Amino acid sequence: MTEAMPENGCCATPRCERMPLSESEHCYQHLPDEQAWRRRLEAVLSQLRELDGYNLSGAGLSKLDLSGKRLHQCRFSGAVLSDCNLDHTRWLLCLFDDARLTGCTVREAVVHASIIAGAEIIDTDFTGSDLVQSNFNGTYVAHSSFADCDLARSRFIAARLEHTSFVNCNLKDVLLIDTAYTDLDFRLSNPEDARFERSNDAPGGPFRHENLYP
C-alpha cells in the first residue's frame, strides 16, 4: 500500500524540509525502518511498468531491478545506486544529479532530456543506449562504457572522464568543453561532429584532436 505524502509535501520528521521518498512519509535520512521501506518499495515496483514522478532522492539502493520500466520525471538526486539493473529502461525528464552509480547496467536504455550532472559513474555499462540531449556536466566517469550509444546533443562540460569507451558512438553536436580526460576510446565514432574545446588552463591543457584515439 502506498503511503500518502504529508500535506506540506515535506518529510514527516519535524523541521525536515526534504521531500519524502515514494512509498514513505519520510526522507531517506529519517526512515524509521529502512528494511521495511525497501520491502514495500520492491513490492510496489514489481507491479508497475511505469514510474511517474517517483522520488528516490538520497536513497541507498543496492541491487535494485528497474529493468524495462518507464521513468517519467523521476528523482534520483544524490541517490547511491550499486549493482542496479536499469537495462531497457526509458527515462524522460529524470534527475540523477549528484547521484553515484557503481557497477550498474543501463544497457539499451532510452534516456532523453535527463540530468546526470555532478554524478559519479564508476564501472557502469551504458552500451547500446540512446542518451540524446542529456546533461553530464561536472560528472566524473571512470571504467565505464558508452559503446554503441547515441549521445547527440548531450553535454559533458567541466566533466572528468577516465578509462571509458565511446566506441561507435553518435557524437553529433555533443559538447565536451573544459573536460579532463584520460584513456578514452573514440574509435568508429564521429568526433568531428562534436565540439571539443578546452582552455589552456583547464585540466590536461588545451584540446588536441589526436588524443581522442588510443
- The one-digit pLDDT tens for each residue of the chain (214 residues) are 344 334 458 999 999 999 999 999 999 999 999 999 999 999 999 999 999 999 999 999 999 999 999 999 999 999 999 999 999 999 999 999 999 999 999 999 999 889 999 999 999 999 999 999 999 999 999 999 999 999 999 999 999 999 999 999 999 999 999 998 889 999 999 988 999 887 555 555 555 554 555 5
Q: In which element (H, E) is residue 185 found?
A: strand 180-185
Domain spans in the chain, listed from the N-terminal domain onward: 1-47, 50-212
Q: Which positions ≥6 away from 66 have C-beta within 8 Å?
A: 45, 51, 84, 85, 86, 89
pLDDT of residue 2: 40
pLDDT of residue 197: 84
Record: fold of 50-212: Pectate Lyase C-like (2.160.20)
Euclidean distance between CA atoms 179 and 141, whole angstroms = 11
Cα separations (Å) of 149 from 117, 118, 165, 184?
A: 18, 20, 10, 15
pLDDT of residue 181: 85
The pTM assigned to this predicted structure is 0.88
pLDDT of residue 6: 40
